[in-house]
Structure 1
Amino acid sequence: MSLHPDGDAAGANARYPNCLPLTTQRGLFGEALAGLITETFEYVGDHEWNVPVFLFRFHDDAKRYLFNLARDPALIRQTIGRFGSDFIAIALDGDGAVYRFVSGEAKWRETMTPGQIDTLLLGDKIESPKGSGNLEHDGKGIWHKVNKEVPIPDGLRQLQEILKEQAADEFSAAILSIDEALVLENPQSIPKTDLIFLVGNDPARRSSGVPHVEWKKQPEEYTAGNDLQVVEVYLSGGTALIKKLYSSLWPEGGDDA
């Protein structure tokens, strides 16, 4: 027996999230894993982080994809990434107000080689100067995005919107504190911790326990001036894990439910 409530209904082929393209599933997996690790492990500053909600529902292109796929099963395509912060976590004071938050970039790569990580952080390689044959990173990677992020990113507003909808009473003080930080005139300051979360399959030549990103001091490419936490997660068979995880949520016929 399938656990899908509308398993025999029209449009049931559009099962969320396992009908989404694998690239999109990897993004969802990265955000969920970032949440688990953020709540479990000690980050810089030793704050107690809370991930009350994820920002999946703000993936507008996934919404369009599901809407169309339910009406035409042949409309399978890739989806573009979600705009804004990949991940938000909050720290609450004794009154339940937000006194600090994490704004994170979570990135998956099939094989997390040093070259792949450098491309994520520093941008794609381009010929510079043109015609020289010399390849350099274009400087438009994660460091650039994090350095340019406004003090109160749109992701915090999105998190607040979900809290208003799903848990307004429980998080009333948090919602109010975010309101006070979102106003354009004389906003309340909420300190930010930047999180870079890198996850992918383990490359064959990586030495166990050795990170690629500098961790004893902040990398020189990072200039935002906030607390910075970098997490590297190397998986064995990560792609197979993600495929099995998402295909099992609403399986055809319910055999694995």
Structure 2
Amino acid sequence: MIRFRRITISPLQQWIPAQKLPASPPEYRLRVWREVNANLAPLQEELIAYAQEALDDARKKIRRGLFDPLSPFDEDEEDPAANYPAVLHRVTLQGYLGETLAGLAVEHFGAFGAQDWHIPAFLFRMHDTEFQHLDLINERLQAGAAHNPDAESEMRPGRTGDDAIAFRLDSSGKISHVLTLEAKCIAKNNTGTIRSAHEKLSIHQDRPSGVRELINLLNDYDTPEAQEWQKRLLVFWKEGFKTSQRSDGLAYAVGHHPTKDPTQVSWLPADKPHTAYTGGRPLEAMEFQLTDIAGLVDVLYRSQTDG
């Protein structure tokens, strides 16, 4: 599946206007967007569609071999992807939100001075522990049992590997630039979370693990666009990683902004990379200061109970 949705830029900029920051040093840039919650309504439906499209490949994987939505004989058949992801724990949904915001920023606001980044698919389908959990939840619901999605017992481990990967292409259609994205989304600022995110980005790996996952993902689709992306990713995996330009990106979504010091605009460092970042690659830091993470999660994920 190749994603195609974009959000109308003007209402998006009004919802999360960019904050003014001092100039950053070479090889590092921080950008900060601070939510104006009152401006969510005009783009709410577009934002829901964008977030849900990011999950469509995961639904395809859940349904594979178990459900045929095109069959006229399956009107009463159980959908294995029913209630995904609405019934999952809020922490899981915040993780999905962080990864989606990372992609949204790169696709709509660019990165490293370029606007032509592509994220052909998100990697939500790799969250197998939650798919197993979903089976259990749906069995409970069908039996009439109560389900509190945010009970501590309903928490499951997050995915491993890259959160998202963006690419730029050269004039011949080959991958020329790769941006590996690490995303965090938490209700309250946490310096430990910021540090661990930078440490994870710093790990040396010439070929991001998510590239292999994308190649396998695209094998499920026979559209010309998917086949073309699979070919160029295979070229990158074999030899292209040696000549492409690699950079890193951190997306940090947090439920409040600094208030004690009027001169402090961000939680992430503005003048230089975090001390925990030792990757030695160009780093783009993106901070989203949200006013109501719980409400945004409900709007994007729990208002769509049947997927």
Q: Give the alignment's TM-score, normalised by structure 1.
A: 0.75
Aligned to 2:23: none
Distance in 2 between the 1:186 and 1:88 partners? 15
User: 1:240 offset after TM fit, Å?
Assistant: 1.3
Distance in 1 between the 2:130 and 2:75 partners? 20
Aligned to 2:170: 93
Q: How does 1:1-257 map to 2 (within 5 A)?
A: 14-46=82-114, 48-73=116-141, 77-112=154-189, 116=190, 118-122=191-195, 141-166=196-221, 169-183=224-238, 188-203=242-257, 205=259, 207=262, 210-250=265-305
Higher relative contact order structure (alpha carbons within 8 Å, sequence separation ≥ 6):
2
Amino acid aligned to 1:86: D
Unaligned runs of 5+ in 1: 123-140, 252-256
Asked whether the equivalents of residues 98 and 253 of structure 2 are also in contact (C-alpha less than 8 Å), the reply is: yes
Decide whether aligned partners of structure 1 residues 144 and 9 sit closer, same or farther in structure 2, where only a CA change above 3 A counts.
same
Distance in 2 between the 1:172 and 1:147 partners? 31
Decide whether aligned partners of structure 1 residues 40 and 208 sit closer, same or farther in structure 2, where only a CA change above 3 A counts.
farther
Asked whether the equivalents of residues 97 and 176 of structure 1 are also in contact (C-alpha less than 8 Å), the reply is: no
User: 1:159 offset after TM fit, Å?
Assistant: 1.9
Asked whether the equivalents of residues 196 and 229 of structure 1 are also in contact (C-alpha less than 8 Å), the reply is: yes
Distance in 1 between the 2:201 and 2:181 partners? 9
Amino acid aligned to 2:173: G
Distance in 2 between the 1:91 and 1:229 partners? 15
Distance in 2 between the 1:60 and 1:100 partners? 29
Asked whether the equivalents of residues 258 and 265 of structure 2 are also in contact (C-alpha less than 8 Å), the reply is: no
Decide whether aligned partners of structure 1 residues 158 and 142 sit closer, same or farther in structure 2, where only a CA change above 3 A counts.
same
What is the CA deviation profile of residues 57-105 of structure 1, one whole-angstrom value per residue up to 9, with x for unaligned ones? 1111111111222223358621110110111111122232221121111
Unaligned runs of 5+ in 2: 1-68
Distance in 2 between the 1:109 and 1:7 partners? 40
Aligned to 2:27: none
Amino acid aligned to 2:253: V
Amino acid aligned to 1:43: A
Aligned-residue Cα RMSD (Å) equals 3.0
Asked whether the equivalents of residues 253 and 290 of structure 2 are also in contact (C-alpha less than 8 Å), the reply is: yes
Amino acid aligned to 2:209: D
Percent identical pairs in the alignment equals 27
* Secondary structure, counterpart of 2:187 in structure 1: strand
Distance in 2 between the 1:189 and 1:173 partners? 20
Asked whether the equivalents of residues 175 and 240 of structure 2 are also in contact (C-alpha less than 8 Å), the reply is: no
User: 1:179 offset after TM fit, Å?
Assistant: 1.6
Count of residue correspondences = 225
Asked whether the equivalents of residues 181 and 251 of structure 2 are also in contact (C-alpha less than 8 Å), the reply is: yes
Asked whether the equivalents of residues 107 and 198 of structure 1 are also in contact (C-alpha less than 8 Å), the reply is: yes
Distance in 1 between the 2:231 and 2:81 partners? 40
Distance in 2 between the 1:47 and 1:234 partners? 23
